Amino acid sequence: DKPKFAVAAMPLIFRQLFEKESSTYTYLLADDETMEGVIIDPVDVTADRDAEIVKEMGIKLVYAMNTHVHADHITGTALLREKLPGCKTLIAKCSGAKADCFFEDGEKIQFGNRHLEARSTPGHTIGCSTFVLDDESMAFTGDALLIRGCGRTDFQGGSADTLFNSVHSRIFSLPDATQLYPAHDYKGRTVTTVGEEKKHNPRLTKSKEEFIKIMEGLGLPRPKKIDVAVPANMECGVYEVPASS
């Protein structure tokens, strides 16, 4: 049976944005009727670009939110909160980070007539969430699932065992046609689908035992920005940008 990759119908405003230095994807979603929207995983260095797009498109940004406490870049949520009045910062309660608002597993994040369902998908960090669009046409997986890969599990409360369970029970349980948008890609790919990753992901098609062995053997260097980024991102949801800056 051939896998399904077709794009679902979606009367939704949607923009994928890229930050080159950390290869991070930022996502802007808005309800085309009310023009209320959210931004997922913005980066500090591209906050001006993002605010300009939001303004030019006439979007009222209700939340600037993160899939998790990032270790490789500083979040743009604090800057967007300053630039776009009415915008609140949002993160999973269990991340331990500060923010204006929090969500728990299963909660709906509303923007206009649309919503994202927050699903806890820990394993890369303890507080990782995947955001699933109301019609299940798209999901934003953060670093839990990357295109043909996944986030590392060796710090920030990470666990390969937990990540394997999260992906299989909460992401691979979505329809095969669901488009998956990750927080990063290092090869210039922009999107994948559940069907594709269930078939071609070199790590997550393995048994849990093999997956744990792969993740233990990665031997990755410590992220360059971790000592700056993690403390900043734990506070960034409520950080007041100094008036003089």
Q: How far is the CB of 212 from Fe ion (least distance, A)?
A: 19
Q: Which is nearer to Fe ion, 38 or 229 (CB)?
A: 229
Q: Which is nearer to Fe ion, 70 or 119 (CB)?
A: 70
Q: How far is the CB of 70 from Fe ion (least distance, A)?
A: 5
The answer to whether the CB of 140 falls within 8 A of the CB of 131 is yes
109 closest CA partner among 43, 173, 181, 40: 40
Sign of CA dihedral 126, 131, 132, 134: positive
Stretch that binds Fe ion, among 31-39, 68-76, 80-88, 214-222 (CB under 5 A): 68-76
Q: Which is nearer to its own copies, 14 or 155 (CB)?
A: 14
Q: How far is the CB of 64 from its own copies (least distance, A)?
A: 17
Q: Which is nearer to Fe ion, 77 or 137 (CB)?
A: 77
Binding footprint of its own copies on the chain (CB under 8 A): 2-7, 9-20, 32, 35, 46, 49, 53, 56-58, 187-191, 196, 199-200
Contact partner at residue 143 from its own copies, Fe ion, none, CB < 5 to 8 Å by partner kind:
Fe ion
Candidates 19, 31, 41, 143: give the one binding Fe ion (CB under 5 A): 143
Amino acid in the structure at residue 167: V
67 closest CA partner among 211, 187, 166: 166
Per-residue tokens: 245: 């800056």
Partnered with residue 92 across adjacent β-strands are: 103
Q: CA 236 to CA 233: how far, in whole Å?
A: 5
Question: Does 41 sit near Fe ion (CB under 5 A)?
Answer: no
Q: Which is nearer to Fe ion, 143 or 196 (CB)?
A: 143
Q: CA 61 to CA 49: how far, in whole Å?
A: 14
- Coil, strand or helix at 49: helix
| Residues at the site binding Fe ion, with contacts judged by CB under 5 A | 70, 143
